[in-house]
């Protein structure tokens, strides 16, 4: 495990009418940027294992706490967290550093953002690497309605939209317990319990499986959400249908070289038709759960570096 004190110190950078807390490694590798985007409920710190290796491989590693997280801006308007704003922040961040384009990497919600970058700002993207969440092509039904149809009203993404403020308050009140119960691995298979899973996790006094982080590592995340609360990050989910409308006239095919890394034990299913929409994708599966780059850091880093090398040579 890495000492949290060894993580880079952040810089506050003004972009796209907000301030972002940005962590960097190897600024001297200017001209070879790679941007790492965390998921929910995450932090730039989730990439602590990959940053040194990517820097050593010659990349200028740029890792923002995205809007709604840590010390980054917390807009009050829910619509300020839609895909246009989230990708706009990354575009403005590239502009800040003077880059025309970059390799973009994302886990979970961060994967959704980097897929969105390829759709909305294709010329600003060199390559795409996604962990956990495959590209979700826009269908005929808005996403919240679709999720409710298949997974019911208690699904957390539906609940976040239909019951604004309820989960936010419970997660805020049980912050460390929620994070400690969520960031687990090797959890035994069991049928889902009634109710909304994130609220259940926040209220549960005992967690299944094994912790992914040490107490010191978890404290980094805990301290960040003590500052930000959970509302800003949950507002990303409250833009699912707005994002669906935003992509109405966007070409759904992503032609960039892409790497998709799945966790074999992740609850997020693999896409059966990913290559139909991302024709230049390579797929890697690791024997891990959802928190891929933290559960199997060395294997994840190797998969990323091997693919970056092979895709540059081809």
Catalytic residues: 108, 290
How many other CB atoms sit within 10 Å of the CB of residue 165? 10
Contacts of 119 (CB under 8 A, 6+ apart): 247, 250, 251, 252, 254
User: If you count DSSP H runs as helices and E runs as strands, how many of each does the chain have, helices first?
Assistant: 14, 10
- Please list the alpha-helical segments (H only) found in the chain: 51-56, 83-97, 109-120, 143-151, 156-162, 166-173, 175-182, 197-203, 215-228, 231-234, 240-246, 274-277, 292-295, 297-313
Sheet holding 125-131, edge to edge: 11-15, 18-25, 60-65, 33-37, 102-107, 125-131, 258-263, 281-286
**In the numeric block, which tokens belong to residue 310?**
């092979």
């Amino acid at each position: 495990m890495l000492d949290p004190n060894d993580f880079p110190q952040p810089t506050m950078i003004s972009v796209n009418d907000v301030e972002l807390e940005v962590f960097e490694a190897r600024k001297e590798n200017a001209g070879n940027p790679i941007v790492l985007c965390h998921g929910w409920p995450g932090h730039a710190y989730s990439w602590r294992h990959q940053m040194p290796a990517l820097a050593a491989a010659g990349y200028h590693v740029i890792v923002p706490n995205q809007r709604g997280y840590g010390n980054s801006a917390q807009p009050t308007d829910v619509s300020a967290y839609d895909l246009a704003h989230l990708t706009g922040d990354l575009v403005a961040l590239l502009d800040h550093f003077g880059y025309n384009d970059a390799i973009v990497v994302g886990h979970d919600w961060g994967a959704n953002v980097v897929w969105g970058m390829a759709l909305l700002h294709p010329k600003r993207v060199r390559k795409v690497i996604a962990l956990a969440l495959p590209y979700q092509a826009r269908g005929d039904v808005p996403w919240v309605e679709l999720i409710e149809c298949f997974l019911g009203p208690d699904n957390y993404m539906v609940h976040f939209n239909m019951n604004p403020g309820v989960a936010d308050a419970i997660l805020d009140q049980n912050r460390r317990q929620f994070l400690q119960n969520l960031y687990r691995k090797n959890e035994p298979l069991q049928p889902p319990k009634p109710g909304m899973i994130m609220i259940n996790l926040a209220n549960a006094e005992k967690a299944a499986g094994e912790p992914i982080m040490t107490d010191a590592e978890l404290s980094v995340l805990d301290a960040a959400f003590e500052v930000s609360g959970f509302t800003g990050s949950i507002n990303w989910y409250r833009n699912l249908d707005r994002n669906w409308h935003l992509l109405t006239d966007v070409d759904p095919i992503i032609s960039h070289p892409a790497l998709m890394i799945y966790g074999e034990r992740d609850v997020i299913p693999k896409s059966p038709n990913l290559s139909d929409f991302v024709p230049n994708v390579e797929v890697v599966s690791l024997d891990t759960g959802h928190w891929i780059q933290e559960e199997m850091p060395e294997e994840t880093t190797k998969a990323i570096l091997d693919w970056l090398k092979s895709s540059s040579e081809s």
